[in-house]
Structure 1
């Protein structure tokens, strides 16, 4: 029988007081939950398309059978419980199939981005100790380059390669060493049994390692357990407005995101929660984000709900009259990664005929802690929203562990006990895990405050705070203010040394194509920030740049902006 986590309550207050995690089965396994528990195995799970126009449809039963074949193949390679298997594949079926096969084995999957270069890939493969890599043909050469530096990586399985190696037996003679123990994905799975007995697991069995983006330091492997995606479901209900009283039935929902399927923001915010509820997900390996392609996908597949990073939304706002140009079925958009300015909500309301945009907040270590839901409470522009049912979130003093009074800035934290979204540990770095735990709280490293109505407001990363003339300035607030200028495309704000003030605020601004940087533009920005924020928060230095350094998830790397300043000083 189908079993679904059901945070359906008529009000936010009732959901917060009544929801619990006690319904999770003792023998919980992610793969069984996402595939085998559904009463209708023939329901569409994945609508897959490709840039060349090809289109494929996979039911939940199709994904179950195909992941069974892959699990049998991995087992034959010697993959066992706790082993790590890396997944370096874009939005293609082989990506989720590999995760599902690992979870059926009791192994640990390792999502990695196809955008990673040699150093990034080498570091993560070595740090995780992955012994199998399932890789897309577009990154095969990169994997081959680093393979000799990854002694534990024994097998490579290539997706959509131009040629296969067959059974993967060790080759002799003058063959390319990278072809040793290498396989073609389809051939590797072909002919294997359609059945597989899922390993015995619980909600606390290790399941996946997701690396942090490295925006504030070297990336860390974040270990999560089998109940991770269940932990996302209450927030999924909130930001896609699937409350008990909301209009429209979830049965007709179709979900899509352009975000890389290597990140928790794509897999956890959309793909796997949708499959928990038996809903359809659209996949398409777009490469770089293209606005026209995005609108065409939304129209072609009648997408009702989407996760869009703020940068993607801003690009989509450049299309005039989208609701008239495209036949859209959109009901809601969720977004996160940076505070959303009011004009994004206004644009969706007017240009997309009332589509709601709900902000969400989380991190790789503890995702989806706070969110908005227009059906439950009014959205306050610039606010992160309110705590998601099932998660005890507070603003605390990071030294004493005591909760801060309403309005006071402190560190955003979530109770660890019995919360499935809170990570187990940093892989290979238990000492770093300990630094994020205080009196039963997980410390996010993010500073914020809570108002008297229970809304949370993000201020900055703890290590990004700028102290100028004794005042503490959060760069996120300054960035949000500058982004309200119509000619500012992207912004990164950091503190730079100053003999008089200790630090001053510096803004790196990427103008829109139609605007050149100049002193008049600088003054417009300074006046805007002075008007929106305190006088001490305006950027005394402004540098115009053609682009800003970003992680592969699209986050601006303030650390690199600071390092660049130090190198030029």
Structure 2
């Protein structure tokens, strides 16, 4: 993103309270703290709040299915804790949780965490090889799964000699080593939770690095506290309003983010429960239609939607108000840059201003916007959330001046010199990687950004997504955002194409919008159609961005390679271009 094109001052409609809040904020981290106790135990212990809804099931085409209270969640967690203890699980042991969004997944997290054990979420999309690596590396002896993940775990099991017990939920119960429902039925609904320190490990999440094997980020219980300022700000004071006599709202949260990932677990499930508010569980396939159905049928007030999801919703339902009645109060988005096209759509059609957020598994929820407290600039990542000291630094660890690209980094200490609780403990059994993550007290994120004169950060891409073409430094985000503004484009990814004269050319992979995909001929006329659309898109970008930024080559594909967390895998496309260049030999640009 070009700072010069985004330097407009934010609207004065929102008073800017950022400086006062940031300087006046201080962490209060108790010596002993447990995520499960904070997210469920405290509510289940009080008769009034024990009856509150905690988890609401969504049934496609029907709406609200079953729902469960905090009391029911705690009772089932107690029973499962007893089952796990009978299987030999002790404090500090890793327990794999391999399930989609469903009530039993929340039960499993609460059960493991209140035991002082370590929850290891694994995506239901993982194949046998991905599962076996993580299970072996973590030395997990027990895995909890359902019918959607049992087969993959059974295929992985021969390569996992340390995995002793598969506990099956739902239909998987009859085929697993232990039927979860039967075992829980035979257990008592009381359990004395372990008194954990805030510094104790709680969750082990494996990050999908661009090179080498995935690394396990060990997250302490205190990290939930570190997440809360970002969650509260990005959701515009989720679940309560400090400006109105502490009156609780009828908040309902939903996000398609998988509860096996940081975005779904730490940005959705746990903080929703922490504030005693219900979250919708839906384990169906994401589609724009399903998203709007959930938002409407559950009267969802707060949500976290990936930019890729929002782009799909924008293209599928450009005019929302005539089709759906929504009750949204706030929205957070993360994973990629939202861009001003999506920003405007959310504002005009969904009725809220999207709060972009930035973070990663190791240091989550550290940068973002809060339209309630400081104005948002369309397309900006925002600023460091209260309690987090965030900066853009160069290779030597020095602060970059406004307008100069650098790497986003977070300091171990807040502005008052106190430890920031959001930090991970380190990479599991990988001290070398942990040390490489830091330059002094700065924890590097691997993401590039520029800070403007007001302190807002503008995302440039991953350090390995940036490239030079004809001597110009190219960030793919701005070009992709520009392409998506065109009605023919549903999504786009920009990567370098090797070129012997210029080093690289700007190449775009484009997914056509459903309407235009239907117009694309299948026969001999396809090439002419593609050429016409290609020229139109190139002219569109030339007219809005710098001359060197327009894509010299555009390739149309059915879908972009995506991670399970909704991020475009530009690396896959970049490697594909490199392989093609090696196979065909160097070419000069026309």
Q: TM-score, normalised by structure 2?
A: 0.87
Tell me which residue corresponds to 1:4: none
Matches within 5 A, 1:149-164: 149-161=159-171, 164=174
Distance 2:470 2:173 in 1: 63
Q: CA deviation at 1:114?
A: 0.9
Q: 1:389 aligns with which of 381, 386, 390?
A: 386
Question: Conserved in 2, the CA contact under 8 Å of 1:134 and 1:158?
Answer: yes
Q: 1:554 aligns with which of 562, 566, 570?
A: 566
Q: 2:552 aligns with which of 540, 543, 547?
A: 540
Distance 1:356 1:283 in 2: 24
Instruction: Write the deviation string for residues 23-43 of structure 1: whole angstroms up to 9, x where unpaired.
Output: 222111111111122342222
Tell me which residue corresponds to 2:36: 31
Tell me which residue corresponds to 1:412: 408
Question: Conserved in 2, the CA contact under 8 Å of 1:216 and 1:559?
Answer: no
Instruction: Write the deviation string for residues 370-406 of structure 1: whole angstroms up to 9, x where unpaired.
Output: 111212222211111111001100011132x111111
Tell me which residue corresponds to 2:472: 471
Matched, 1:43 2:43: no
Q: Return closer, same or farther for 1:35/1:539 CA change in 2, 3 Å cut-off.
A: same
Tell me which residue corresponds to 2:330: 332
SS class of match (1:138): coil
SS class of match (2:174): coil
Distance 1:325 1:504 in 2: 42
Matches within 5 A, 1:478-489: 478-489=479-490
Q: 1:374 aligns with which of 371, 375, 392?
A: 371
Q: Return closer, same or farther for 1:539/1:218 CA change in 2, 3 Å cut-off.
A: farther
Instruction: Write the deviation string for residues 272-327 of structure 1: whole angstroms up to 9, x where unpaired.
Output: 111111111111211x1133332222222221111111222223232254334333
Question: Conserved in 1, the CA contact under 8 Å of 2:60 and 2:290?
Answer: no
Q: TM-score, normalised by structure 1?
A: 0.91
Question: Conserved in 2, the CA contact under 8 Å of 1:51 and 1:285?
Answer: no
Question: Conserved in 1, the CA contact under 8 Å of 2:93 and 2:118?
Answer: yes
Distance 2:116 2:288 in 1: 39
Tell me which residue corresponds to 1:14: 20
SS class of match (2:317): coil
Q: CA deviation at 1:10?
A: 9.4
Where does structure 2 lack aligned partners over 5 or more consecutive residues? Answer: 1-14, 414-418, 521-528, 584-590
Distance 1:249 1:384 in 2: 30
Q: CA deviation at 1:55?
A: 2.3
Kindly tell me the number of residue pairs found equivalent between the two proteins: 542
Distance 2:471 2:94 in 1: 48
Where does structure 1 lack aligned partners over 5 or more consecutive residues? Answer: 1-8, 166-178
Q: CA deviation at 1:428?
A: 2.6
Q: 2:180 aligns with which of 161, 164, 185?
A: 185
Question: Conserved in 1, the CA contact under 8 Å of 2:145 and 2:172?
Answer: no
Distance 1:279 1:191 in 2: 30
SS class of match (2:171): coil
SS class of match (2:378): coil
Tell me which residue corresponds to 1:70: 80
Q: Return closer, same or farther for 1:52/1:508 CA change in 2, 3 Å cut-off.
A: closer
Instruction: Write the deviation string for residues 97-136 of structure 1: whole angstroms up to 9, x where unpaired.
Output: 1111111111111111111122222222222221111111
Question: Conserved in 2, the CA contact under 8 Å of 1:398 and 1:443?
Answer: no
Q: CA deviation at 1:500?
A: 0.9
Superposition RMSD in Å:
2.1
Question: Conserved in 1, the CA contact under 8 Å of 2:16 and 2:374?
Answer: no
Q: Return closer, same or farther for 1:306/1:217 CA change in 2, 3 Å cut-off.
A: farther
Q: CA deviation at 1:436?
A: 1.1
SS class of match (1:495): strand
